[in-house]
């Protein structure tokens, strides 16, 4: 089974911030969907999202949309801790719960929040992936560290610039 994982910026670090109706956001979502479909055509069948706000959510939604046409693909949610969504607003928490309910597998990398639980989740993604799709304009923060780790592990990386 060939596996794709995703990494990318949170909404506050994207050019359009939280406005998903911004043309740049809509274009990124379409590019993600196209890239995922290309992966499916290349034999990738398993997809893993860290389920954070922003890119992780966009990717999970794209996989679930494509699952209608490609029912054999799977989506795993890799959750850093049980409280990941506790501080999100009500709409984002509901979106998260709905996405989780549609995932084939939900994996809790850790139960409790710790200073490094997000990175442990990111390392989990890279340890399971054959390919990492990264959405980034730079390689700072968690996205950058995730890409460096993937590179060290020999995981192929596709970079999409938002």
Q: Any idea what the CATH number is for the domain that residue 67 is in?
A: 3.40.50.450
Name residue, tokens 């995703």: 6
CA-to-CA distance for 85 and 140, rounded, in angstroms?
A: 23
The boundaries of the domain holding residue 72 are 2-160
Residue 11 structure tokens: 């909404």
pLDDT band of 129, cuts 50, 70, 90: very high
Contacting residues for 51 by C-beta, under 8 A, at least 6 apart: 57, 60, 77, 78, 79, 84, 96, 99, 100
Average pLDDT over residues 140-152: 92
Number of domains in the chain: 1
Q: Express each pLDDT in 14-47 by its tens digit.
A: 889 999 999 999 999 999 999 999 999 999 999 9
Q: Is the pLDDT of residue 137 over 90?
A: no
Q: State the average pLDDT for the chain.
A: 95
More reliable by pLDDT, 140 or 15: 15
Contacting residues for 113 by C-beta, under 8 A, at least 6 apart: 80, 81, 83
Q: Is the pLDDT of residue 5 over 90?
A: yes
Average pLDDT over residues 68-88: 97
């Amino acid at each position: 089974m060939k596996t794709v994982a995703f990494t990318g910026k949170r909404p506050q670090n994207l050019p359009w911030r939280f406005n998903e109706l911004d043309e740049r956001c809509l274009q990124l979502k379409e590019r993600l969907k196209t890239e995922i479909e290309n992966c499916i055509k290349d034999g990738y069948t398993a997809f893993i999202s860290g389920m954070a706000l922003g890119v992780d959510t966009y990717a999970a939604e794209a996989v679930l949309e494509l699952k209608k046409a490609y029912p054999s693909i799977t989506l795993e949610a890799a959750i850093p801790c049980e409280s990941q969504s506790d501080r999100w607003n009500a709409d984002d928490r509901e979106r998260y719960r709905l996405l989780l309910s549609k995932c084939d597998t939900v994996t809790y990398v850790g139960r409790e929040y710790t200073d490094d639980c997000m990175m442990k989740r990111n390392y989990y993604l890279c340890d399971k992936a054959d390919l990492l799709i990264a959405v980034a304009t730079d390689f700072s923060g968690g996205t950058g560290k995730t890409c460096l780790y993937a590179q060290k592990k020999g995981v192929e990386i596709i970079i999409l610039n938002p």
